[in-house]
Amino acid sequence: MTPLNRVSVNVAYFLNCLLTDTEEIVSDEVAATKKKSKKKKGGGSGGGGASGPVTKTTSAGKDLSQGKLWKLLVEDVLQHFLYTLEYNSATHMCTTCGVSRVSLLREFCNKTGVQITSKDYKFSLTAPLNEGDLACIVPVVKHTDFKVI
């Protein structure tokens, strides 16, 4: 389970993986984990452990990449809807279908309750969204059962 103070980092990392086409998206947690593992290879006995902000529980999306996410998306669509997606990236889908990445971002936010700041996002960058861009996450209620009193 991800602590609440790291949720915005993981959501921004997920959205960057979903909406960009570079395999080199690195979140702050992944970069810190790579630096930490390079230090441990030296054989030093100091540090390590849970003293820093990066622990096993906070780096939930560290092994997620753009390629893995699209592969999971294609498998999920095939399993649930028995339809084969022929897109291998966000750019391929957007150019083929004629839809913009801003529209994808808007629909994702509407369906999941993620609220982001209103600004011009540069999707040509490797990581257009960061944790400061997420305003809040609100629960989405699809339907309720009314009780007659």
Give domain status of residue 100, yes or no. yes
Give domain status of residue 144, yes or no. no
Rounded distance, CA 6 to CA 12, Å? Answer: 10
Give domain status of residue 47, yes or no. yes
Across all residues in the chain, what is the average pLDDT? 76
Beta strands in 1-149 (DSSP E): 114-116, 134-137
**What would the pLDDT profile of 60-76 be if each residue is shown by its tens digit?**
566 788 888 889 999 99
0.85 exceeded by the pTM?
no
What's the total number of domains in the chain?
A: 1
Give domain status of residue 52, yes or no. yes
Give domain status of residue 142, yes or no. no
**What would the pLDDT profile of 81-108 be if each residue is shown by its tens digit?**
999 988 888 888 889 999 999 999 999 9
Domain that holds residue 65: 4-137
**What would the pLDDT profile of 109-145 be if each residue is shown by its tens digit?**
999 999 999 999 988 888 899 999 999 999 888 887 8
Give domain status of residue 113, yes or no. yes
CB 21 within 8 A of CB 89: yes
Query: Which among 12, 37, 40, 41 is positioned nearest to 26, based on CA atoms?
Result: 12
Give domain status of residue 145, yes or no. no
Give domain status of residue 22, yes or no. yes
CB 7 within 8 A of CB 48: no
